Amino acid sequence: MGMQIHHLSIHKLFGLKFVVDSIDNFCCNHTTGVSQRQINRFHDKLSQLTQNDKISREAGRYSASPDAIGAMLIIEVDGMNDDIGEALKRVAAAADNDECIEINLAETPEAVEKLWKTRKSLSPALRHVAPKKINEDVAVPISSMPALIEGLERLSGEHDITIVNFGHAGNGNIHVNLLVNPDDAAEMQRAQSCLAEVFALVIALKGTLSGEHGVGLEKRDFISMEIDPVSLRLMHRIKQQFDPNNILNPGKTLPPI
């Protein structure tokens, strides 16, 4: 009995309501009894990104116009030969709703590679929207993803900052990209205010400030939003024990206390 891996792409209509409803619907149906190794999703602003030739070429292979696509799910399903067909049906049924444009199944290595090119091209394409991105790898419980996406859309409008989101919807890890011009002082100031509210939103949804890439310097001053003072003091003491001369990544990860 052999094992297979299949990929599906699911397209949703453009617009906040459709995007949030689509995520909400999929979250509600997520317990399908199917082993789903990885689920990635693209959020709105995709119509802006299709101005990039590379994105346009990939998006153009779908029957729907790129301008109509507001969100995209790439789902990888694995299983034994005898079970994979039923697993694919369950995943497709869980993802399907009134706002679903189409579901494509990539069954050959060539089709899979073509599908993933869209995902891999997205991050480089952001440079054609703005010269700089502030990229944060927040994560929230899967059930809170609709509220996160809706909140990010609200913050984008309130601060006049373009936000593009993509990442790993299977574990709630969403890459939030604030697209800015570093030479525009006013925009950078708005972006910092927006970023602080993004982190506050994530914490309010019982999430974490870093679901993948770590803290480093950029998130250091926000860590106290997630970790209480007692725990921070303990972390400082542990680092002092193993690094008395403070030569290991000095000034990173842990905020001053």
Q: What is the DSSP letter of 241?
A: H
CA atoms within 13 A on the CB side of 115: 23
The reported pLDDT for the residue numbered 105 is: 78
Kindly state the tokens that stand for 115.
């599908």
DSSP codes, 120-173 = HHHHHHGGGT-SEEEEEEEE--GGGHHHHHHHHHHHHHHHT-EEEEEEEGGGTE
Report the chain's mean pLDDT, rounded to a whole number. Answer: 76
pLDDT in tens, 192-214: 999 999 999 999 999 999 998 88
The reply to whether 117 and 134 lie within a common domain is no
Do both 134 and 84 map to the same domain?
Answer: no
| Confidence band, pLDDT 50/70/90 cuts, at residue 180 | very high
Kindly report the CATH number assigned to the domain that includes residue 164.
3.30.70.2740
| Inter-axis angle of helices 16-28 and 81-95, nearest 10 | 140
What is the percentage of the chain residues whose pLDDT exceeds 90?
38
Q: Coil, strand, or helix at residue 84?
A: helix
Residue 226 forms part of a structural domain: no
pLDDT in tens, 231-250: 999 999 999 999 999 999 99
Instruction: Say whether both 60 and 114 belong to one domain.
Output: yes
Among residues 186, 204, 222, the one where a domain terminates is 204
Indicate yes or no: pTM above 0.85.
Answer: no
Work out how many domains the chain is built from and give that number: 2
pLDDT at residue 115 tops 50:
yes
Q: Considering 171, 186, 204, which residue would you say is the last residue of a domain?
A: 204
- The pLDDT score that the predictor gives to residue 69 is 63
The residue segments making up the domain with residue 72 are 3-126
Same domain (yes/no): 48, 84: yes
Q: How confident is the model at residue 63 (pLDDT cuts 50, 70, 90)?
A: very low
Q: Are residues 197 and 112 in the same domain?
A: no
198 and 134 both lie in a single domain:
yes
| Pair (110, 10) in one structural domain | yes
Per-residue pLDDT band at 7 (split at 50, 70, 90): low
Residues 148 and 178 both lie in one domain: yes
- 15-27 pLDDT, tens digit per residue, is 333 444 555 555 5
Domain C-terminal end among 126, 160, 178: 126
Alpha carbon of 145 to those of 14, 29, 139, 215: distances in Å? 17, 14, 9, 21
Residue whose entry in the numeric block shows the structure tokens 């060539």: 110
| Whether residues 40 and 137 fall in one domain | no
What's the pLDDT at 5? 56
| 120-173 pLDDT tens trace | 777 888 888 899 999 999 999 988 988 998 999 999 999 999 998 888 877 889
